[in-house]
Amino acid sequence: MPSLIQPNRLVELGSEILPLERTHSLLWQPAVVYLNARCRNTHFKYDSLFPPHKILAYSTVMRLLAVFATLLAVAAVSGRLMTMQEMNEGRLEAAKRWQTGGSQNGKSGGVQNFTFTNPKASGDCNATSKYLIRMIHLRPEFYVDGKSLPLVDFDVGPSWAGLLPISNSPNETRQLFFWFFPPGPQGSLDDLIFWTNGGPGCSSLAGLLQENGPFSWSWGQAKPTVNQHSWTNLSSVLWVEQPVGTGFSQGIPDAQNEDDVAAQVVGFMQQFLEVFSELKGKKLYLSGESYAGRYVPYIANYIYENPTLLDLSLQGIWINDPLFSWFVVQQQIPAMDFVKKHASLFSFNQTYMHHLDKMAATCNYTGYMDKYVTYPPKGLLPLPGDSIDFAQGCDIWTDVYDNALMINPSFNIYRIWDTYPLPWDVLGFIDTQSPIYFNLTDVKEAIHAPVDTEWIECTSTNVFPNDDSSLPPALTVLSSVIQKSQRTVIVHGLADFIMMADGTRIAIQNMTWNGLQGFQMPIADDSFIVDGVGAYGSMHSERGLTYYEVSLGGHMLPEFAPVASFQIMQYLMGFRDTP
């Protein structure tokens, strides 16, 4: 049976290409979204066909366009083009609106009064008089002073970080590294979000620092900033580096499959709750991206199948841009259609496009979406060539990728519009920052990480020594997880090339849950409405599963589309009634 990692493609691409997406071009997002929304609205007549949510979006659009109109008017009077300064003023105004208008709890700084009685966790000798005498002589093992994080010039609030074993065995050598933040001032004290990055073997600290944590240091940023759309504004969040072999985690990797990974995570969580016992009984939400599309469903299934192991109440899961079906489904079948949708970005000549068309036709990729992806499905969806792998000569994805790099050396599989030159990255791609932030000794000491461990965003060690033998969760446990959860969300960024949205649609339409196969009704265009922004992609919800496709979102969705991601997480957690 061929390796499901094929062969470790996500590891290789993750370590070589991953940071290409980290740019400052997000500042363009509000303008593009607003202008697109305005253009769409011109197709409506002045009657009841103009839905209420579009009227609200339209009014917001008009306010923003007024800013651009003023700038354009200045240029028009003098018969000249807009200057760089005028453009930047418009971008700044758009960014301000975007930062403040997209989340109900979009304020950061400070946390709720959150203390732990265990002296290993507490960082304040006055926090609990019960342990005062002991704590005078005991350095807190996990407390992180938010005022003293190296190179961060603001207080991120108290947090807790360090290593914990995956079992209570006295001889246990395997430990996972975690970083826990309590909720912000408006966040819930009753909920806990668990986040993991993918890979396999990519660190969740990258997710904390560049996606959904309380402070952000993304590509192109000169220094860290407050993340206005941190998920800590919703509840407590726990970032865990797993499986064993990832990031600062310790021990020899020995996982053979996703059940082993799930057992590691649940064992770690048991030890975590013994130290942070005040978190017992909280509502739990599992979330992750990319290869975590395999991790998260299997972890959730393990918890549901073993309800007495963990003193938490699992409510639902989030997976974005997930690997949860076969590679041929999620990479090969959709690749040609993706190239055609984004022809101006790939900029291939007609000779090469003809070559790709012939390859797609020969390999039975051509017309697959139109023929098989119907609502409702007409039956099980076939695999091209009746194989879980692509046939010889049918690796169209790699062919496209190799040629895209010839035209654009900075082509980014995680967000396709990136161009040369690459902005610097504090996490180290490619040799743009030395040392990497998490390899600074004072950073390691501040977060109780092992000083002698070299941190790498995506490990070169195979966290599955003999590959991952589990079947994709879309074919196994995911249906059961959806049925047992209050809500499940699958989210996909439309600018992602490593895992394309059409591949996710195929996987969903081939999956049966709650008595029916796939979605019964089609996914409507412009059906995902982000508060204060307008139409931001598509959304569809049936029988406990809600699927989102996010405009301008790439593979690392909370980084590239933070406002949309925040709203989706609000829905998963029941903080809003509508998707």
CA distance 540 to 521: 9
Q: Which residue has the tokens 């409702």?
A: 376
* Count of Cβ atoms closer than 10 Å to residue 46 Cβ: 6
Spatial CA neighbour of 372 closest among 325, 332, 326, 333 = 333
Task: Mention every residue, 6+ apart, whose C-beta is less than 8 A from residue 129.
Answer: none
**Would you call 353 helix, strand, or coil by DSSP?**
helix
Catalytic residue among 290, 470, 541, 565: 290
Task: Mention every residue, 6+ apart, whose C-beta is less than 8 A from residue 147.
Answer: 155
Beta-strand runs (E) in 281-385: 283-289, 313-320
Q: Which two three-digit tokens encode residue 375?
A: 């609502």
Catalytic residue among 496, 502, 526, 531: 496
Helices and strands per DSSP (H, E), number in the chain:
19, 16
DSSP conformation letters of 111-162: ------SSTTT---TTS-GGGHHHHHTS--SSEE-TT--TT--S----EEEE
Length of the chain: 579
- Note the Cα 319 to chain centre separation in Å: 7
290 is catalytic: yes
Evaluate the omega torsion of the peptide bond into residue 421 and state whether it is cis, within 30 degrees of 0. yes
In degrees and rounded to multiples of 5, residue 431 shows phi and psi of 55, 30
Catalytic residue among 229, 448, 492, 555: 555
Handedness of CA 348, 350, 351, 353 (dihedral sign): positive
- Note the Cα 90 to chain centre separation in Å: 29
For the chain, the 3-state helix, strand and coil shares in percent, each to the nearest 5, are 40, 15, 45
Q: Which long-range contacts (CB under 8 A, 24 or more apart) does 137-144 make?
A: 141/448, 142/180, 142/275, 142/448, 144/179, 144/446, 144/447, 144/448
User: What number of CA atoms fall less than 13 Å from residue 433's CA on the CB side?
Assistant: 22
191 is catalytic: no
469 is catalytic: no
- Note the Cα 140 to chain centre separation in Å: 31
CA dihedral 110, 113, 118, 124 (to 10 degrees): 70
- Note the Cα 562 to chain centre separation in Å: 10
Active-site residue list: 290, 496, 555
